Amino acid sequence: MLVSGLLNILAILQFLKIFNYIAFVFILIDMNKLFVFSLASFCLFLTAKSQIVERRLPVGDAVNSAFKESNARMTPDKSRLYFVREGHPQNTRINEEKFCQDIWYSDWSSDNNTWLPAVKMSDPFNRHTYNAIVYIAPDGKELIIRGAYKEGKWFENGFSTSFFDGVSWSVPERIVIDEYASMVKGLYDGAAFSMDKKMAIFFFSEKANAIHSDLYVSFLKMDGSYTRPVKLKILSSPDDEITPYISNDGKLLYFSSDRAGGSGNYDLYVSRRLDESWLNWGSPLNLGSSFNTIGFEAGFSSSSDETMAFYTSSYSSMGESDLVSVALYKEPQPVKNVMLTVRVKDDSGKALRSYLYVNDLDNKVQNTFFSDSGVFISLFNKSTHVFRAEADAYVEFIDTLDVNELGNELLIAIKRIPEPVMRVSIALNSIAADNKMPIPVKAWFHTPGYDSVFINSDGNTVLSLLPGLSYNFALSAKNYIPVLRSFFTPDSASDMKLDIVLEPIVLGKGFRLDKLYFDNGKASIRPESFKELDYLLQTMIENPTMKIQISGYTDNVGSDALNNQLSYDRAFAVSQYLIYRSISSTRIITKGMGKKNPVGNNANEAGRQLNRRVEFIIIQK
């Protein structure tokens, strides 16, 4: 009886061991299967030692050494592995700081099926004491590194970009992140960027000299800078959260923590994003003994196809910590998306600051992008798409392309429009309606394909624009309703004056976007509306506590039921535009008002056009 019982127990343990292996595979495929993971966690505890032996593989002594290796990042083609090596005699500032960290790399030898001996990255990298790569672009031609550099010199905490031109890397230049340097007061900081760079997750502490960090999120703005980081309270604990990493699809966030309940010193965790706000995340789940040990584990990253993971571990390491790899097994899945890098350049090959609009043939908006050097996008490969690129002072590009025939990169070359010699002077005066005083504003004047001027005005500014053109302009100021209008500049060199009054944000106060267009009888937002919606988006980013009600209206043509549904669908389309660009759904209420509350006369077309509108009401400041 005793022998039989022991055999039964061993059989159960063996089953649990197998189940643990399978369950972890499923959890990587579908994080919604939480019941699988919960049972798997118990199994992981029972079979920790054997799972470590079966699944963890040291990267090799060509990479690992008697020193500390961490922060691995693999190039998209899997040919090179970048990482950080600490305290090595060849590190740039080893004579100044014993624990200095430099970026090294190892190239993969397909002939020998192994990594080649590691080499330290040369200038213009490793110019500071603590260096690391936190992002590699999908085409491998852009790196984001730790440290904010200006004219090639490190000057504060932050991050910088460097571009590869086919021969060498450019001198890193800082990424502007609002208030980042002043917020980072602890001893450590780092970052992860989403694949399209629209979001960034940071770790740092706002407490002076603190050794424990929290996680923060920041959003890309229209001017290429990032918003002030916001703490992810749901993921933060009284303990330490470090080394975030965002999955390719942006749905999973990996990080390391020494929070209670882990296997050892620091463990790897993963959390699923719950909505488009990037502020709401599922409860963090421990990756278990396939990854974690009684030691220190951190710095999770994966290959571009997500079949292999890298991280640093102190368990049985050659030095303080080594890089290890784990195979990520996934069930075969049908290809659903095409990953594409799109670059807009002029005739000489120079990268242009540009807007890129991508629509499918049904004119359902897929995405809107703004980029200095190129954007990485994911498109459904089941349909042909319309690509439209717009850069100031250049001829607009528009073409219908089959995404399955584009490969991995689309280069769009556009020609410059000859610029008139003459410009006209515009005196801009921004005035607060509540106190009649000049008010500082951010102002953007834009005429499609010709000119764009972005300024920070103190309330009274003179700017120079092209004559005889229709300009759209947007003025925004914190705690004031944005002003979105258009005007024609004079044909001659005569001066012009613009006096703009900004109304304060008041509960219940409504406003509308005059250049918000939909397809006839549909809720599809037309591409020419995107800039106007981007102004609204920017206002909500700059006023993070503001909540709005979006109300759709129609004219009196058609049945009440049809108009009520159409008005709601259009308001909903606007809300989705904002939510997809990281405005929390909790800040937006959507209503369809049908033909109620007309502002024009339905007896004529001009009046009916006024009534077909979307209005915004401020319900919380």
Order of strands, sheet of 267-272, starting from the edge strand that comes earlier in the sequence: 241-246, 252-257, 267-272, 285-286
| 467 phi/psi in degrees, rounded to 5 | -80, 155
Q: Is the pLDDT of residue 222 over 50?
A: yes
Convert the pLDDT of each residue in 556-572 to its tens digit.
988 999 999 999 989 98
User: Within 10 A of 613 (CB to CB), how many other CB atoms are there?
Assistant: 22
The pair of three-digit structure tokens given for residue 28, joined into one six-digit string: 């990587």
**pLDDT tens figures, 258-317:** 998 888 789 999 999 987 788 889 889 888 877 888 899 999 999 988 888 999 999 888
What is the Cα–Cα distance from 230 to 242, expressed in whole angstroms?
16
**3-class secondary structure, 327:** strand
Closest C-alpha to 596, from 550, 554, 548: 554
Q: What is the pLDDT of residues 387-425, one digit of tens each?
A: 888 777 787 788 888 877 777 788 888 887 766 566 788
Task: Tell me the average pLDDT across 380-388.
Answer: 71
Q: According to the model, what pLDDT value does residue 536 have?
A: 82
More confident residue, 475 or 46: 475
Distances (CA, A) of 331 to 313, 356, 397, 411: 27, 34, 40, 34
Residue 354: phi and psi, rounded to 5, are -150, 160
Average pLDDT of the segment spanning 108-137: 94
Position 2 scores a pLDDT of 37
Which pLDDT value is given to residue 17? 38
Residue 408 CA from chain centroid, whole number: 20
Mean pLDDT for 599-613 is 87
pTM of the shown model: 0.59
- What DSSP character marks residue 229? P
pLDDT at 608 over 90: no
Q: Which pLDDT belongs to residue 379?
A: 67
Residue 384: is its pLDDT beyond 60? yes
Tell me how far apart the alpha carbons of residues 131 and 94 are, in angstroms, rounded to a whole number: 13
**With contact defined as beta carbons under 8 Å apart, do 175 and 157 qualify?**
no
pLDDT band at 18 (very low <50, low <70, confident <90, very high): very low
Residue 53's pLDDT band, with cuts at 50, 70 and 90, is: very low
Residue 487: pLDDT band by 50, 70, 90 thresholds?
confident
Asked whether 616 and 510 are in contact (CB, 8 A), the reply is yes
What phi, psi does 254 have (nearest 5°)? -100, 145
pLDDT band at 14 (very low <50, low <70, confident <90, very high): very low
Mean pLDDT of 607-615: 86
Q: CB atoms < 10 A from the CB of 449, how many? A: 16
DSSP 77: T
- From 54-63, 230-239, 492-501, the region with the lowest mean pLDDT: 54-63
| Of the candidates 354, 501, 517, 338, the residue with the CA atom closest to the CA atom of residue 432 | 501
- HEC profile for 459-498? CEEEEEECCCCEEEEEEECCCECCEEEEEECCCCCCCEEE
Q: 548 vs 520, which has greater pLDDT?
A: 548
**What pLDDT is recorded for position 448?**
66
Q: What is the mean pLDDT of residues 509-528?
A: 78
Q: Is 32's pLDDT higher than 50?
A: no
Type and span of the H or E element at 367: strand 365-371
| Cα dist from 577 to 232, 422, 559, 585, whole Å | 23, 38, 27, 11
Nearest residue to 135 (alpha-carbon basis) of 189, 86, 201, 186 = 201
Predicted local confidence at residue 39, as pLDDT: 35
